[in-house]
Amino acid sequence: GQNIDQPTEMTATEGAIVQINCTYQTSGFNGLFWYQQHAGEAPTFLSYNVLDGLEEKGRFSSFLSRSKGYSYLLLKELQMKDSASYLCAAMDSNYQLIWGAGTKLIIKP
């Protein structure tokens, strides 16, 4: 079956670095997406990886290893506004997104 696993909750300190891991199993693969969702709001797109390696975009970076079915989202210089849920989603061979349950990130001062 198709499955996405990511931690339920993580806590980090303002100014620090945090890595949110995601493992996936899908029927075919057309890329891995990360979305950010603040409470009561719709998700917003953060990153997309389809090739192995690291994609850096400002304070956020995303990594993909297709052979391992593994991705991570790296957040640097954490700010209080980064407190949110981070959703990992893999696109299968039918271009359907398979969603993880999300990782709630709590930032402490």
Partner 1 sequence: GAVVSQHPSWVICKSGTSVKIECRSLDFQATTMFWYRQFPKQSLMLMATSNEGSKATYEQGVEKDKFLINHASLTLSTLTVTSAHPEDSSFYICSARDLRENQPQHFGDGTRLSIL
Tokens 């506004």 label which residue?
81
Q: Verify binding: residue 101, partner 1, rule CB under 8 A.
A: yes
Q: Name which position in 18, 22, 43, 78 contacts partner 1 (CB under 8 A).
A: 43
What are residue 11's DSSP bridge partners? Answer: 106
Contact set for partner 1, span 5-34 (CB under 8 A): 31, 33
- In the chain the first and final C-alpha atoms are separated, in Å, by 41
Alpha-carbon span 45 to 84, nearest angstrom: 13
For partner 1, the closer CB: 42 or 109: 42
Q: Verify binding: residue 80, partner 1, rule CB under 8 A.
A: no
8 A C-beta contact, residue 75 and residue 53: no
List residues binding partner 1 (CB under 8 A). 31, 33, 35, 40-45, 48, 50, 87, 95-97, 99-102
